[in-house]
Chain A
């Protein structure tokens, strides 16, 4: 069947893999709705505009019959472009979440013009392709009962607005916001994070102050959900859409402003300005990385500790799809902002490689763990080994095993010796347990799982660049 493990909540269809291609099964109601959108050219236009993932209906009759035989009860199917790798909101920077939210609002606005709506507004309906968000869950489109209200607005707030407000005003990070709750945090939880005067300030009154107060009343049984007429005469949606359009515009402006105002504070964000090597060393390192990548010819690269993405760009220029990760949110934010201006085949992601995202949701498989989603041909680990050894206290063999699990074919590793300035900075105030960390020790330990292909010193620096091939 190849059903995608996170695709089961909505009874109107689900996503599955078939010979490496991605399809979506549709029930009759969804088929009719989406067929109409395709016939009127909307799906093609939205794909063109980068609103939705590349989508077409399955028209080939033998393929259709094959899929229908495999998926009983379903007769109509869509094919989607394959997106790799899949990322989740707890791995995004603030601007990524903001752009995903603004894309959701844009699509909702487009649908509203056609008298349609999104029935949910979860951040998991968005994926990033070449650094741009796209909407993937087409069965989320429905004919709503009303046009003046958006029933998914509450979820939109829980998924996009509240986390951004908490990042901005209360020092939260998206990982802690999203990992513990698939649907974000409730208005009651979020409201408590703000003091009374802040809740009722002009900036928050409409989105937190009033909803918080109303929800408390509902909880206390002093108010109930409104008994508005569900639909107009003859099943036509009721209400004036201009009211909802106003809300969508207001939210879009608010989120854009919020993202703009969350300054990327970073541990390593100014690393490229303050790092230890000079121009000659950097040029030498860049040339060597390019040379090694051209030798390994990977289709996909995982850049661990990508910082602002200089080396990810080199890998993308060498023809690879790059998953660029860093534990530093500010660095990923800066990389993403640059990616928006200069698009490349790079997917940015906030991941602490020593504590990567776990599997969450139903059976812990609904949102698979990072290690199941990242299976690159080549791992690029530049200036990261000493962080694992010192920062995370991993033994050399543990670091080796981590790289061996991730890399399918090659590993490009930068070895930083203990006398390097950056290494010395790391072990400041630390008991010195690191004297045994030498290049020879590293080569000896890595030899258990990898074959050394190249070993080149980086000019004007005590560091060495290594190219390994994983042992079969």
Chain B
């Protein structure tokens, strides 16, 4: 649950969460797409996004 000092505005928080998850999704998709075309090196595969 999100607790803020001021009224965060439910719409503003929700839209940020949506944007954050979209970007997360795109990042995952992109890394999967990249892994299709590039050969995996062990240290690269471990690197966090």
Contacts and interface: CB of A to CB of B under 8 A. Distances in A.
A215 B9 contact: yes
Contact of B5 (A119, A186, A212): A119
A84 interface: no
B42 interface: no
B4 to A, nearest CB: 4
Contacts of B38: none
B12 A187 contact: yes
A439 interface: no
B16 A247 contact: yes
B2 A230 contact: yes
Highest count of chain A CB atoms <10 Å: which of B3, B8, B23: B8
B5 A210 contact: no
Interface in B5-44: 5-20, 23-24
Given A120-B5, A230-B2, A153 B16 contact: yes
Contact-size category for B: 20 to 34
A210 B24 CA distance: 19
A226 B8 CA distance: 12
Contact-size category for A: 35 or more
Highest count of chain A CB atoms <10 Å: which of B4, B6, B15, B23: B15
A185 B9 CA distance: 11
A230 B17 CA distance: 13
A225 B14 CA distance: 7
Given A157-B9, A225-B10, A230 B15 contact: no
A154 B8 contact: yes
A240 B14 CA distance: 16
B17 A226 contact: yes
A223 to B, nearest CB: 7
Given A225-B1, A227-B1, A239-B20, A206 B6 contact: no
B6 to A, nearest CB: 5
Contacts of A183: 6-7
Contacts of A223: 10, 14
Contacts of A210: 11, 15, 18
A226 B21 CA distance: 12
Nearest to B4: A151
A9 to B, nearest CB: 9
A157 B14 contact: no
A211 B5 contact: no
Contacts of B49: 240
B3 A230 contact: yes
Contacts of B11: 154, 187, 210-215, 218
Given A149-B16, A150-B16, A228 B8 contact: no
A29 interface: no
A440 interface: no
B20 to A, nearest CB: 5
Given A210-B15, A228-B2, A230-B2, A158 B9 contact: yes
A119 B2 CA distance: 13
A246 interface: yes
Nearest to B10: A218
Contacts of A211: 9, 11-12, 14-15
Interface string A126-170: 000000000000000010010011111111011000000000000
A154 B16 CA distance: 10
A69 interface: no
A291 B3 CA distance: 59
B20 A154 contact: no
B48 to A, nearest CB: 10
A149 B23 contact: no
Contacts of B5: 10, 119-120, 142, 151-152
A300 to B, nearest CB: 34
B27 to A, nearest CB: 9
Given A224-B10, A230-B1, 10 more contacts: A152-B6, A155-B9, A211-B12, A218-B14, A226-B13, A227-B1, A239-B20, A240-B20, A243-B24, A247-B16
13 contacts: A119-B6, A120-B6, A149-B16, A152-B4, A153-B12, A154-B11, A206-B15, A210-B15, A211-B9, A223-B14, A226-B14, A230-B1, A242-B23
